[in-house]
Chain A
């Protein structure tokens, strides 16, 4: 076998188009071309502008949690663009005359990459990024507990995403959906490298997510500001705590199941084959043992975001703090008790189905309580509908519809008639678009100034909200309808004429979502262009409540010049009510920050090389990559010169400078919140 393993010319993206020209292979070649040209264009831009060096020293080598968070979010947005475009192509396929312009196999690659990307390379990096930026600032920490490991997690996730992108250029992706059930994904029925792409891209990112979970949890346990009890934490920090526990325990079954599938495929094992003692039901079991907690990994951080955004823009304390915290804990615990509801149709006993169905419905109780808590937070408030608040309100309304269909699906007898149908597809999009994406969009609009010092453009933000909202209803309400008529998911084309009008509406909805995404790209572009007038250097542009808003924007690398004194649950609100405009400093002391290092990037790079070699069975290269990865970790472990000191004097200067800036910033009324008069430190008390 050659050193290049199973790789050959036909795996290169444009070759199939020349050997078998059709619209389907043309689209595949075009998509590969976009990836290659896009990468080239970025490299040319970096070279022309001379940005290689700043990119390396400010971003790639950074161990600063805020910058790592930003890179995660950028990754999520790039992958989101691909995911949405794939959705639009699939919708176009289904409204074009059957059998459409895509082959069944090509369509299958699209829904498989769409699902894999949206869960693992949009949702996961998005929430990991937001947690990275916000959580340490909310608990009064200066960084994550393990900043180096944090960067390693990041580069492993990017490596996984890069492999999925590479599958457009070299070879194929798998066709068995994001769940990749064997025996269809076994070596006999899926002999090409597609499933291996799925296994190894998930392998990288699931290890990254496990490490992130450990990092978040230890940071919350060990790095809280002195005096901050767990029940003094923000709801977002609580959501992070629960998410981190889920990440630690839930990612492992996925890592293990996918590696077992790899052994089945490449080493002749029989874990999941139908013969020789294998059993594919074990895969479904292990996959959903990960998959169901995963749903709450995705949704809890967004719940945390809404619990921050809604009180701020209601000008009011959060309703029912204790209730919300216990509801979050309850959801996290219950999330491990319901996974069988993903396969009620597997032929287990009625008792088992009934117990898991009812267990599923119990999650509705704490979730319902949370929704009412957000409503009661808005009740008797003074609501300002910023982009972040619009996404939060839109979430409450839309999420409830998904909740109704969720309880319906939890009844096994209803599930028999809706499983594997578009009704189910509509349901989980109805949970994840409002329950995850809207939350992350709200988070970006809300906390953006902490990272970059300026606000995002409100006009384009609101436009993007309405487009997403209308697009969501247009794209998914029709799927509920035809799902109930018996339309299965993952179908390349339908011959039933009754579905057609609904599919057209869904197509228009998907285009509307695409327009919403475009509006967000324009929003960022316009905001960067007008950043001078959107600057909020004094910080706290929304009369916020968390201690992260006591800092100037952008937040300095060391976060807090002195660790804040936690005298209550909302010390920043107390300070503002006492007429102060900066928090009183505690004690200035020398602090140590980790030096920037290119090591995490290199670890990610060789890990990706290892994974790519495993996909194409280049055993020698794989071995080299694997050894290199651990050698790098070893070298780092013996490195003793990894910290740099920020002196107490520098911190005091930073504090004084911020104080002077705040004192010279004119105080303005909340009515001017979204105008260029807002330079930070906006306050209701001035009305």
Chain B
């Protein structure tokens, strides 16, 4: 898929470069195996038969040497890639901070002091962003494929991810890639990269009180309510990280075995499918 930001673009470049670096050692095998199979076949093969040939210093040097050389190259490249694109390292000066809380099956994004949002991530264009990530309930993996690779969101743990948003406004999505139960396919969120003016306008949009979000977040499996709320008090994310049960009771409130909740999940899945099909029809037109 086409990357929208420099981090995802870097990951794709590494992928292509590694594929190419593996070819010099792999192509001889991919071409050589069928060729040897043809040439040395017992019936009709043209190759010379030498049943005792079983050692060659030259071949050993080439094989061990070639494999080691390839290893040294890809190892060297890896060191550079990992140090250069450490998700814990800010991608620019003074990145914008977003606190992330993953839960079954919804995401909370806190813009400290400004706004809290559910399942909706709005970011200004061409801006470095640092996410502080935790979870309640099960472990999840926070992933916006077209902007950056994933990092786990774990209850009781804080992780970080840095990225720079696309140069121009764009729309994409993010999701949890770690299976976590009955509504796993719905565990995603919209990502809107907008101009700075639009972003400022977004922060000014009308908001609901945070207490309402906190109460509903605990009880609801799949989110269909309002998206924007007043920000929580300072240090709230840290409190959730230290005590994830305060937002979900370990996720036990939304057990899939629980029949009414299961029905809600089924309805939500049907709803979601209906919406996304219409969207795709819209795309086609």
Contact = CB atoms under 8 A, between A and B. Distances in A.
Interface of A: 98-99, 103-105, 108, 175-177, 181-184, 186, 188-189, 191-192, 273-275, 278-281, 314-321, 323, 343, 345-347, 349-350, 353-354, 357-358, 361-362, 364-366, 368-369, 371-373, 375-385, 393, 396-397, 400-401, 403-404, 407-408, 410-421, 484-486, 488-493, 495, 497, 670-671
A316 B40 CA distance: 12
B29 A375 contact: yes
A417 B2 CA distance: 12
Given A98-B273, A274-B245, A408-B18, A347 B159 contact: yes
A396 B155 contact: no
Interface residues of B, number: 105
A385 B64 CA distance: 28
A175 B1 CA distance: 30
Interface string B67-83: 11011001101110111
B122 interface: no
B40 A314 contact: yes
Nearest to A104: B182
Contact of B179 (A177, A192, A354, A495): A177
Contacts of A357: 78, 82
Contact of A397 (B34, B154, B180): B34
A403 B19 CA distance: 11
Given A99-B269, A319-B59, A419-B177, 7 more contacts: A181-B139, A183-B155, A280-B154, A410-B78, A412-B78, A413-B149, A671-B43
Contacts of B68: 365
Contact of A347 (B15, B42, B160, B175): B160
Contacts of A175: 179, 181
Given A364-B67, A381-B51, A408-B22, A417 B12 contact: yes
Contacts of B50: 316, 380
A375 B36 CA distance: 8
Contacts of A377: 54
Interface string B85-128: 11111000000000000001000000000000000000000000
Interface of B: 1, 8, 10-12, 14-15, 18-19, 22-23, 25-26, 29-30, 32-34, 36-37, 40-43, 45, 47-56, 59-60, 63-64, 66-68, 70-71, 74-75, 77-79, 81-83, 85-89, 104, 136-139, 141, 143, 145-146, 148-152, 154-157, 159-160, 175, 177-185, 243-245, 249-252, 255-257, 265, 269-270, 272-273, 276-277, 280
A320 B54 contact: yes
Contacts of B183: 104
Given A274-B155, A403-B26, A490-B184, A421 B138 contact: no
Contacts of A315: 42, 49, 51
A377 B53 CA distance: 8
Given A188-B251, A347-B159, A416-B149, A396 B33 contact: yes
A440 to B, nearest CB: 20
Contacts of B154: 274, 280-281, 346
Given A354-B83, A414-B14, A416-B149, A381 B181 contact: no
- For the complex of A and B, list the 7 residue pairs with the smallest distance between their C-beta atoms, beginning with the closest: A416-B149, A274-B155, A347-B159, A420-B177, A274-B156, A350-B86, A486-B145
B33 A375 contact: yes
Contacts of B255: 189, 191
Nearest to A313: B42
Contacts of A373: 63
A412 B8 CA distance: 13
B157 A189 contact: no
Nearest to B81: A413
19 contacts: A98-B273, A99-B273, A103-B182, A105-B182, A183-B250, A274-B245, A345-B150, A345-B151, A350-B83, A361-B71, A372-B59, A380-B40, A381-B40, A382-B42, A407-B74, A408-B22, A411-B77, A416-B148, A671-B43
B156 A400 contact: no
Contacts of A421: 177
